[in-house]
Amino acid sequence: MISGPSGVGKGTIINRLFELDDNLYFSVSATTRQPRPGEIDGVHYSFKSVEQFEHDIETGEMLEHAVFSGNYYGTPKSAVEKKLAQGKDVVLDIEIQGAENVKKLMPEAVLVYILPPSIEELKHRLIGRNTEDEESLNKRFHTAYRELNKAPELYDYFIVNDMVETAAVKIIDILEGERCSKNAMQEILKKLLEEAETLA
Ligand code: ADP
Ligand code: 5GP
């Protein structure tokens, strides 16, 4: 799961991750916010009305959901479960409350928080993206402060997004490390041990 203050560069880094690793699957979130220019329904987000979103919550189709900057955001459950069952590493771009909820449901999830090189640079990036009005900018800065306060308790890794390439490669390194972890290797270890019994 990848989190970080709005405008830090999560989307930009995630795009690069998919060029670097072909075992990844991007979980397309549902949201009630308006599409930005260039965003495609079903690719960047599934854009829904509040009624549709609330219906999906009630019918249990969301793994988690949260309100961010006055809009609903949520992770559709079935796609995530299907891709995990296929052995894919699922990437979620998710705010902190959602990350905390997913971690409770899936303790093996790895939580990465992206940091800006400075707060000045964060402001520069978010304003420079030119996607938010004054009210949305203020809400996002306010939320960034709250998230940065809470993140140290929850996240496993912190990566400063100075250069996109360096940050993306660090996430790939984390993934590779996690793929060799005791938990991830359990099946292989078990199988080898069973085979080794024939030697004993
Ligand atoms: P987020 O998904 O975290 O809201 P974006 O990926 O949309 O952030 O990035 C916000 C803006 O910052 C975009 O205009 C993007 O091109 C720019 N950006 C991202 N990473 C960097 C970086 N390392 N250096 C400079 N600008 C960056
Ligand atoms: P944006 O509007 O900038 O695309 O996203 C706003 C925030 O919503 C970001 O912090 C992003 O990580 C988060 N977000 C995107 N999808 C989801 C989701 O499915 N669930 C939750 N909880 N947060 C999400």
Verify whether ligand 1 is closer than 6 Å to residue 127 (CB atom).
Answer: no
**Which ligand has the nearest atom to the CA of 167?**
1
* Span 116-170, pLDDT tens digits: 999 999 999 999 999 999 999 999 999 999 999 999 999 999 999 999 999 999 9
Which CATH number is 2-199's, of 3.30.70.2470, 3.40.50.300, 2.30.29.30, 3.30.2290.10? Answer: 3.40.50.300
* Span 73-107, pLDDT tens digits: 999 999 999 999 999 999 999 999 999 999 999 99
- Closest C-alpha to ligand 1, atom 15: 9
**Sheet of strand 157-160, all strands in order from the earlier edge strand to the far edge:** 2-3, 112-115, 157-160
Verify whether ligand 1 is closer than 6 Å to residue 116 (CB atom).
Answer: no
**The whole model's pTM is what?**
0.96
How far is C-alpha 99 from the geometric centre of its chain's CA atoms? 8
Q: Looking at residue 36, what DSSP letter applies?
A: P
Cα of 75 from ligand 2 centre, angstroms: 9
Phi, psi of 38 (to 5 degrees): 95, -15
Residue type, 161: N
**Which ligand has the nearest atom to the CA of 30?**
2
pLDDT at 200: 85
Number of other CB atoms surrounding residue 144 within 10 Å: 20
Tell me if residue 37 falls in helix, strand or coil: coil
Q: Provide CB contacts within 8 A for 20, sequence distance 6+.
A: 168, 169, 172
Domain ranges of the chain: 2-199
**Which ligand has the nearest atom to the CA of 8?**
1
Phi, psi of 185 (to 5 degrees): -95, 5
Residues 73, 61 contacting (CB under 8 angstroms): no
Cα of 121 from ligand 2 centre, angstroms: 20
